[in-house]
Every structure is written in C-alpha cells, then in structure tokens.
Amino acid sequence: MMTWRTSLLAGAMIPTIAVAQTAPPPASAPKANATLSDRVPVETFAKLPGIANPKLSPDGTRIAAKMAIDGVQVLVVAPLFPGGKLAAIKVGATVDINWWRWVGDDWLAVGIGSQDMLYGEDIYVTRTLGVKADMTKINRIDWKNSGVRADEILWAARDGTPRVLLSRQTGIESESQWYPSVSEVDLSTGKTKTVAGSQTNVFDWYADGTGVVRMGYRYEDDTRKSSLLYRSANRDSFKVIASARGKQDIVVPVTFRADGTAIATDDSGGRDEVFEVSLPDLKLGKKLYGADGYDVDGVIDNATGDDIDGITVTDRFGHIVWLNPKLKEIQDAVDKAVGERRARIVSWDRTRSKFLVQVGSPSQAGALYFYDPANGSMQRYSWQNSDLKARTLSPVSTIRYKARDGVEIEALLTLPRRHSPKNLPLIVLPHGGPFARDSEDWDWWTQYLAETGYAVVQPNYRGSSGYGTSFAKLGEGQWGLKMQDDLDDAITHLAKQGIADPKRVCMAGASYGGYAAMRAAQRNGTGDAAPYRCAISYAGVSDLQAMQRYDGKFLYGKTRGDWLKKQAPDYRSVSPRFGAQTFSIPILMLHGKEDKRVPVKQSRMMAAALKEAGKPFEYIEQPLGDHHFTRGEDRLEFLKAMGAFLAKYNPA
C-alpha cells in the first residue's frame, strides 16, 4: 500500500502570488567605502541574500531569481529596468524550488521537490513545472506519469520556442518505469513526446546542442559495472562504446562539438582537467585547460551549444577562465572597473552582449550589477545585504598548514576586525559534504562570528573536493578519525603563530560539519589536553548507519553504501550517537524539522542519547527550518542561540 504525505505525487495545486513592487532603480558603477568601526547587529547577518542565482532572460529585459520577500525566499521574475512589477511563485513550506532556467523569452522551466512517503519510507520526489514568465500560467509537466525523479533538463531550444528535453522516471509500478526516458516537452502546453525510451540500468542521458540525445550512461548497481551508450543521430540505435567496473573509469563527454569531436573532463593526470575527445573511441586529445594544484569545476557552453566558451575553476576563489576572446575582454574590463573586489559574470542574454555580474569579496556581501559593454556602464540592480551594502567587514585569507602526519591542508582564516590578531578565541568551522570545500567568498555565518570577536578557521580537511584524486582518497576510511585530526591540527598551527589562544576554542558546523562538531565533543576528552570548550551542530549526522539507510533506499543504493563504507568502515565506532557517555563538553544542536537532506531524526536521536547519559546539551528544533537556511527567521534564531551559547562557554 502507498501513502503520499506531501503534495507532489498527490498533484496538489501550486499557488502563485503577484507582488506589487517596482523594480529597483539602477545605480552607478560599484564603489567600495571604508571599513566602519561600529559593530554590526546580529539581525543584519541573519538577513536573507537580496537575490540568489539570478538568470537573465534571453532578450536581456528580465531577471528570474530567488528574492527575499517578508523573510522568505520566493522565485521572482522582475524587470531589469525601473517601472515594472515583480511576479512571484510561492509554494508551501514543505516544497523546495530547486532550480529554474529560461526557455525562450516568456517561459521558465522550474524544478521542485518535496519529501514524500513510498511504501512506508521517506523519499525525496522531484517534479518539473512550465511557468509563464508573468506567473499567470503554470503547467505541471505530466506529473501523473512521473516517478520519483522527474526534473532533469538535458537541453533547451534556442529558437525562441518553449521546448526542452526532459529526462524522467515515468512511474513506480514497474522496472521499465523506474529507468528514465527522455521526452520533448512544450512548456506552454505541457504536452510531451518521447524521443529516447528507457533502457535497463541507464539513469543518465546526454544531449547535444541541437537536441539530439547522444549518450546514455549505464550503471549496474548489483555488479558495479558501467558502460557508455552512444549514437550520432536520432535515427541510429545506441551502441556500447566503453565499459568499466566502477563509476569513475569512463570518460564521459559533456559538450558535443560541431566537428564531431567532444569536450570532457578527465582526472587521469591526478586532477580534473579539460580535454578534447574523439568520438566514438573516447580518445583524449589536446588538453584545453588544467589548474595548477586544483581540479576544474566544469565548462560553459557557447551560445549554440556545440563548443565551449569558458571553464569554471575554484582555486582560492571561484572564477571563469574564458576561452572566448570577446568574453575574456569583457571580463578584463569588469575586473578593472571593480578594483580590488572580485567580479563574476553569472548570466547573459542570448547574444552574450548583456551580462549580470556579481561583485563583492570575502569581506563584503556585495551586489548584483547589470553590464552593457555597448554603453560601458555597470548599473547596480540589488545589494546582497541592504543593511551592509558595500561595507567591508573582517578580512579573509587562505592559509596552509601541515597535519600531524605531514599532509598539507588548505584553510580559510577570518580575523575579527577591530581586534589585534593575537591570542584570539577561535572557532573551528568545518564545511559540510564532506566532498565539498570552502573558498574565499562572502559567508554570513563566518562574518557574524568574526564580528563577535572570534577568529574563524575553515579547514579543507582530507577528503575535501577540488584538490585532486589523491587528496580525495586520503579521506577514505577517515570520517571522524584523521579527518578530525586535520581539524584539531589547525588549532596547533594557529597557536604556534600566536594568532589563537588554544585554551579558548570551540567547533561549529552544519551537516557533515555538524557531525564533526558532535564527534569533537565525543572523542577529544577532558582536562588540559582537551582542544575544545564547546561544540555547535546544525543539522548534524549522529548515526551513520541510519543516514546510509535514508540515502541508499533507491537509486544506486548499494553503490552509495559501498562509498559510505569506504569513508567509515565501522559505522558505530564513529557515530556520536553511540558514544554519548563519552561526551566531555557542552554541545548546542539545532535542526530544521523540514530538512530533507539530513532528517531531523538525526539530532533527535543524539539529544535523546545525551539526555539518557546525563550530559550537558541544548537542542532547538525549528518547525519550518530546512537544510539551507532559506528563512530569515531561522537564521536569526540560530545566530542568537549560537551567540548566547558561545558567550556562556567560550566568551570572546
């Protein structure tokens, strides 16, 4: 028997709201002001970003983005120039708006998701909407004939028509429905037409710039064998052109060139680099780009989708290496205009002659600008934080130190402004993931802690992404062990530098970082040798076995289990829930009830275990909170609780 707990599979209505608000007026080119010495209140740091993930319409007249309205982020289409009205789509608190993209000038494809119940188990369900840009019409794209995953857009038409290729599961009742097929969809009508039928064990499809489905990636979860299916045209049948054991051993093209070759990333040299690739033999050709010491992130297709214009890279900070000479010239002009701050082109019109540019720094929240090279002016569209505007706060730098076994660790260090950088109280703030990394960028949480008087170190511990294959593999089997040592060793390094007081340190983190904070409270002991005075966990994982069950119920469940086993061979020994008796420092835990990435049960179980063990803890559950702090009210409650907890156990 099946029961559906939320709206997506039940087909509930998605309400729209029209927001009576004019577009923000343009302003002159960005100018940074001097650092102000007065302390910034906590409410300022809790403000939601003014605009998130903005997308410029193909005709260059409107922006689609998440904007903060009444303390909640909603999807908005806004005119680029003054005088027009905003239109917004708002969904219930239990439904996420995950992504959006323009398809022609008048339609958006929008991906949404929600937690649902299938055969008594919690799962995450995704769906696709066709949304008219003025928000007067919303089409649910064949929801009744969609399975658990139904929101992957492979291609969007470039001729102005609202057509996309959608890869989706078509149901849950049979195996053939579970493997996704590819349909051409008219977003304006919701009508679909199958262009590539499902194939056993093929979950990933790839299309070229003309809308031809060219490849399918097959992975057999039981045998852990993979293969790549290929064809050159719709009239051809798919043929296997490569096979391997494991998921990472096949070169998978990401862009199909007009000359019959392709572009792919490959890590055979130890790091992800970008290569030309011949088809169908997948032989690597010319290396187009490799970053010294770092993986590349991905590529940016050109306007026609048959080559690339640029490569995205994160070294000390994220940026784009433009291969297109015109776009490189534009980037150089923007960089010159903003001076010491950083400018990243985040969106463009169909002719790539008008641009949205994010300007800021790790110490400045910054703003979004519209840039038209034809008239040479940058117009400010929106401050990211309307209270801070262009204020510069605490400085951020990248440092390196050696872990106790000699592994070099890169980390971010934020030093509190208005304080001498000597003998400071310290917060160790590990990132989530754990296959992720921190880089020099504005971070409201870190800047709040620095404003309160703490130095903050964010180590990219072994197993973090971006540093190549070998560094990633160093994390295998080391969850809560050597990965934890890397965090502790940051204290030793900063104490030797005279920057941090090793007797005044707390750890804080979210998701995997929250797990690390729990683990620090559990394993590091008491007395003079104890490195931490307290710990703070937001949405932390306390039971790895339970998390594996939640993550691995469906797609690639056995493979995900294999991966997690590599990271933590003995779940129980490194799961804080089962070591509650050994917690030696107070811990503050917060968790959103609507968290769909790490279920709230993870913190509830930890709180229950600590209560039974008689250990000091505080637990706050946010009824509408999610994994990503998308509500200003939840951010404020979190920052205030953290500030009070730190003032009690590790005052600055």
pLDDT score for 31: 46
Q: Which of 111-120, 196-205, 217-226, 256-265 is predicted with the least confidence, judged by mean pLDDT? A: 111-120
The reply to whether 191 falls in a domain is no
- Structural domain includes residue 559: yes
Reference 249, options 271, 267, 261; nearest CA is 267
User: How far, rounded to the nearest angstrom, does the alpha carbon of residue 338 sit from its chain's CA centroid?
Assistant: 26
CA dihedral 618, 621, 626, 632 (to 10 degrees): -80
Domain for residue 131, yes or no? no
Q: Residue 194: which residues within 8 A CB-CB, separation 6 or more?
A: 181, 182, 183
pLDDT, mean of residues 544-563? 58
Would the pLDDT of 29 be above 90?
no
Count of H-run helices and E-run strands, the chain:
11, 36
Task: Please return the burial class of 248, using the count of CB atoms within 10 Å of its CB with bins 0-12, 13-18 and 19+.
Answer: exposed
Range of the domain at 514: 396-649
The CA dihedral of 169, 174, 175, 179, to the nearest 10 degrees, is -10
CATH number assigned to the domain comprising residue 490: 3.40.50.1820
* 333 assigned to some structural domain: no
Closest residue by Cα to residue 282 from 304, 249, 323, 238: 249
**pLDDT beyond 70 at 35:** no
In this prediction, residues 612-618 reach a mean pLDDT of: 96
Mean pLDDT of 392-405: 98
- Does residue 547 belong to any structural domain of this protein? yes
Q: What is the rounded CA–CA span in Å between residue 49 and residue 84?
A: 22
Question: Do 299 and 311 touch, CB atoms closer than 8 A?
Answer: yes
Tell whether 153 is covered by a domain.
Answer: no
303 occurs within a structural domain: no
From start to end of 33-120, where are the E strands? 51-56, 62-69, 72-79, 85-89, 95-102, 107-118
The total number of structural domains in the chain stands at 1
pLDDT, tens digit (0-9, with 9 covering 90-100), for 206-241: 999 999 999 999 988 778 789 999 999 988 999 999
**pLDDT tier for residue 564 given thresholds of 50, 70 and 90:** low
User: What whole-number distance in Å separates Cα of residue 330 and Cα of residue 9?
Assistant: 46
Q: Is residue 369 part of a domain?
A: no
